[in-house]
Structure 1
Amino acid sequence: MSAIPEFETQVAIIGAGPAGAIAASLLHKAGIRVLVLERQQFPRFSIGESLLPCCMQFIEAAGMSEALNKAGFQFKNGAAFRRNGNYNCFDFTDKFTQGPGTTFQVERAHFDKLLADTAAAQGVNIRYGHSVTAIDLNARPILDISDDQGKQYRLQADFILDASGFGRVLPRLLDLERPSNLPPRQAIFTHVEDGITDPDFDRNKILISVHPQHQDIWYWLIPFSNGRCSLGVVAEPARLAHQQGTLEQQLFALVNEEPGLKRLLSNARAVRDTAQLGGYSARVSTLATDKFALLGNAGEFLDPVFSSGVTIAMQSSALATDCLMRKYNGEEVNWDKDYCQPLTQGVDTFRTYVEAWYDGRFQQVIFSEDQNPKVKQMICSILAGYAWDRDNPFVKDSLRRLNMVVELCADRQSSPTPEPS
């Protein structure tokens, strides 16, 4: 019986999505040997098509901006919110934090392949159709790997970055999974040929609409540059239990309960199978050790409402690769202090707003008629992805600051309108 082949690298990266591609590019540019293991073949469908401007910094650092700008994706400059006929938008160029104020709305199959192909063109070794089946962390990490032809081998590495997204490879193999502290929610989604003729519809912004009777049910509409949109609805499973018919019929029945969307999408037709995703909010007991780090969704996923997933993935890639570069330069790295804590600070800022969205506090702020421009700029920075900017009071002290604005909004609404003199 022949021995299982063994290989070696400095950093093994599990997953070639945005987190993995950015991390691999940054490490390769620093002269660190990386090997990327991707279970699927690209292109492959992925949900989460609305990027945030903060992402552009990491794409630029990885040397991928030119390829992205030439790809023809839909330009994005903000987010629009609508509830019961009330409409408000956030212009990401009018924000508190310095940095890019525009980005793109992308079909992820093409976007993820573009990043991975650009990393490969830079010299990164990506193996598609290769799955990690076991891991040994007793000494130098060893990964057992099987390719899509059934061939097996072992890979020894100094360090492992898990960028496997919802596959959550290391959390599953190392029993790191822990229940999320967010209530379970379910999304139903598809891509549509949108047929939108309304001249007032702004294709440069994601549109988030709220159900007219249930504030915890919301819809996303993300325009692409080819006349299509990503369309989805999010609700707690109990809210969706009574829905009848196929997933596509359920989705469009819910869309038709929101008058603005019903009118906007009166000519829309689905162009891919409608799918559902539930129980996606997740967390872990350990984000990193001196042998591995979890990036993006492999570590924690909150909720799709503010499109934070890709931003958190890229931010985690930047933090982890910075730690690894310092490690290979002979510096001492404290993975809790240098990676886990700073990453968690930004994630917790997003968490503040996710929780406040569903309990209605943040919706009250968004749809307030009398908004302070400076406060709106600070909140806009967070919606644009700059949840790690500690100079922003709404980042540094997110819960207290948000509750303060919620109270001000409530006071304005409860104050009687003065009689004309």
Structure 2
Amino acid sequence: MRTYYDCVVIGGGPAGGSAASIVAKAGLDTLLIERDAMPRFHIGESLMPETYWAFERLGLTERIRKAGFQAKKSVQFVTHRGTESEPFFFRAHDDRPCSTTWQVERSEFDKLLFDRAGELGADCYDQTRLLDVHFDENHKATGVSVRTADGNNHSIDCRVVIDATGQQSFIANKLKLKQVDANLKKVAIWTYYRGAVRGEGDNEGATIILNTESRDSWFWFIPLSRGITSIGCVGDSDCLLNNGAKPEAVFFDQLARCPGLTPRLIDAVRLGDIRTAKEFSYSTSQHAGDGWVLVGDAFGFIDPVYSSGVFFALEMGIRAGDAIVAGFKKEDLSREQLQSWTAEFLEGSQWIRKLVHAFYSKEFSIGRFMKRHPEHRGQITNLLIGRIFESSAEQVFQDMEAMMKESATM
């Protein structure tokens, strides 16, 4: 490991791997570090179709296609009564190859991205822990301290630090930039099953969103390869874990209250432990500074319901990488240059945030909304695809808000 790099990327997930690939391919001396040994477990297995264009940019489309991941061609919703919606088939809206995406084992998927950054010229180290990010008296990032797998500490100078540390959000926590969404204080409790009943035909690999009877929680159903399915419960942390409730007991209690899911697991076998994550919905008040930028979950995370996390991470990594490459060409690594992509990103991602808040409103039903406003089916599908940077969804949410207000008065 050298003592100087043009760019240091902290975190080997989708955001870090894509950012490192972009800057390394441009010829910048790039270091990518990951705390854990690669490959390593991570949640967030369902991809939006718009990830296709990131794979094209990174030169990974064929590798992803041949990796053996479960194909995902649709999304489906199931009500608190167990009534199934018509699947939202992506190809009905766009019949190009990008309409098929994947449900991925993140250990294998992230390793593909990590290795690709190495192929493009980055020095890639796993089992390397970030100790600190260094700033000068003008609050400009100047380097990092790390500890490698052999236990040795290293001080590395650089021109730019890309923080892709995920929910650790190292710089955001260090500079007190992290803001938890008070309306989305959720907990996720999940595990894995073998032999769960999936959809049929092209709906076999669908992500299914299933409400519980009370609509106080919901389950994800994400079919992976090798007959394994990721099953997770999400609800208000204070509600589900009140009075010291144990996550495993909560999971099975909520499962018993989910009429759309219990038949799918009747002959399935649970694999492994129950896992949890709490209060994962947050934003950051500043996304970049002189010599540093946040990407992926270090930038912020909305909610798992529409599977936007990996897509956003890839999108941010590529956009930040492009801004850094342009900044080196102009000799401008200021906050303004490094965050030049963030306004457009936030403008597009707001539509997913709005859709998430609508989902958690008991006055909202996606099925009822589509019956009332069939003209919005294409735009709703756009949101589920991740096509959020090309056009406004303002009218969709005006009609959605009006319908929810009407339902609240009934």
When normalised by structure 1's length, the TM-score is 0.88
**For 1:137 and 1:412, how far apart are their aligned partners in 2?**
52
For 1:41, the aligned partner's letter is A
Q: Are the aligned partners of 2:133 and 2:141 in contact in 1 as well (CA < 8 Å)?
A: no
**For 2:202 and 2:219, how far apart are their aligned partners in 1?**
16
Percent identity reads: 27
Pairing partner for 1:404 from 396, 399, 406: 399
What is the correspondence of 1:61-210 to structure 2 with a 5 Å cutoff? 61-83=57-79, 84-88=81-85, 89-95=87-93, 100-138=98-136, 141-196=142-197, 202-210=203-211
| Aligned equivalent of 1:379 | 380
**For 2:284 and 2:246, how far apart are their aligned partners in 1?**
34
What is the correspondence of 1:259-408 to structure 2 with a 5 Å cutoff? 259-330=259-330, 334-335=336-337, 338-361=340-363, 363-368=364-369, 370=371, 372-389=373-390, 391=391, 393-394=392-393, 397=394, 401-407=396-402
Higher deviation after alignment, 260-269 or 141-150: 141-150
Unaligned runs of 5+ in 1: 416-421
Q: Are the aligned partners of 1:92 and 1:102 in contact in 2 as well (CA < 8 Å)?
A: yes
**For 2:119 and 2:168, how far apart are their aligned partners in 1?**
26
Q: Are the aligned partners of 2:198 and 2:204 in contact in 1 as well (CA < 8 Å)?
A: no
Residue 99 of structure 2 aligns to a residue whose secondary structure is coil
Change in CA separation of 1:322 and 1:201 when aligned onto 2, cut-off 3 Å = closer
Residue 329 of structure 1 aligns to a residue whose secondary structure is helix
Q: Are the aligned partners of 1:18 and 1:310 in contact in 2 as well (CA < 8 Å)?
A: yes
**For 1:164 and 1:81, how far apart are their aligned partners in 2?**
32
| Aligned equivalent of 1:33 | 29
**For 2:199 and 2:163, how far apart are their aligned partners in 1?**
43
| Aligned equivalent of 1:10 | 6
Q: Are the aligned partners of 1:220 and 1:233 in contact in 2 as well (CA < 8 Å)?
A: yes
Q: Are the aligned partners of 1:365 and 1:409 in contact in 2 as well (CA < 8 Å)?
A: no
Residue 262 of structure 2 aligns to a residue whose secondary structure is helix
Change in CA separation of 1:354 and 1:409 when aligned onto 2, cut-off 3 Å = closer
> Aligned pair count?
403
**For 1:324 and 1:192, how far apart are their aligned partners in 2?**
42
**For 1:29 and 1:409, how far apart are their aligned partners in 2?**
48
> Could you tell me how far 1:367 is from its partner in structure 2?
3.8
> Could you tell me how far 1:140 is from its partner in structure 2?
5.8
Pairing partner for 1:45 from 41, 46, 57: 41
**For 2:403 and 2:347, how far apart are their aligned partners in 1?**
26
Change in CA separation of 1:241 and 1:181 when aligned onto 2, cut-off 3 Å = closer
Higher deviation after alignment, 403-412 or 379-388: 403-412
Q: Are the aligned partners of 1:198 and 1:264 in contact in 2 as well (CA < 8 Å)?
A: no
> Could you tell me how far 1:229 is from its partner in structure 2?
0.4
For 1:29, the aligned partner's letter is K
> Could you tell me how far 1:371 is from its partner in structure 2?
5.4
Q: Are the aligned partners of 1:20 and 1:36 in contact in 2 as well (CA < 8 Å)?
A: yes
For 1:123, the aligned partner's letter is G
> Could you tell me how far 1:305 is from its partner in structure 2?
0.7
